[in-house]
Structure 1
Amino acid sequence: MISWIRNLAGIATMLGLLGTVIGISVAFEEMKNAGTVSLEIFSEGIRLALNTTIQGLCVAIPSVLGFQYLKIILHKTEIELKSSIDNKNADTIKTWK
């Protein structure tokens, strides 16, 4: 039911990592094509690559927190419902006696 939130967190993290790997690969490719090792080119590529990790974590962290919160709420609701059912059953048994 709420597992899609957990899945979103995992997918966002993986997409962020994928973007980072692609970005670093592009940075190396640009350095190769430029023919020189430039700190400016490389650092810009790394900066752009890390942006995808940041964005992935910005989605993943709230998703995990939201999932855990909803999981706790559902667990508490389940306990309350079971208690209510047990009380109704006890009342029904008393009525039969």
Structure 2
Amino acid sequence: MVGETRGVVGGQEKTPGNIQGRILPETPRALRPTRCRNSTVTSAHAPIWLAEEEDLIAMSKDRRLASPRREAVLIELADVQRITRAFKDQKGSH
């Protein structure tokens, strides 16, 4: 989870903002908890992350979305779901 990379494409790291060597806009977020050891996510952050997940799901279903952008959205969604899954698991265990 922490410190992983997505691989290298055309000499550039493959991340949501850089798919197949193309530079794409990323979700404007200062912290990347799935990639930064210094990031902390608590239950106080749950509404924001759950809303982000819903937005990405809706965006991924938009038929007008270009294929490279859809791929970036799905990669970002997978990262967000790694965080939201923990919130959902906590909610289910209480």
TM norm. shorter chain > 0.5: no
Q: Which structure has the larger Rg over C-alpha atoms?
A: 1
Q: Which protein is richer in strand relative to its size?
A: 2
> TM-score, normalized by length of structure 2?
0.31
> TM-score, normalized by length of structure 1?
0.30
Which of structures 1 and 2 has the larger relative contact order (alpha carbons within 8 angstroms, sep 6+)?
Answer: 1
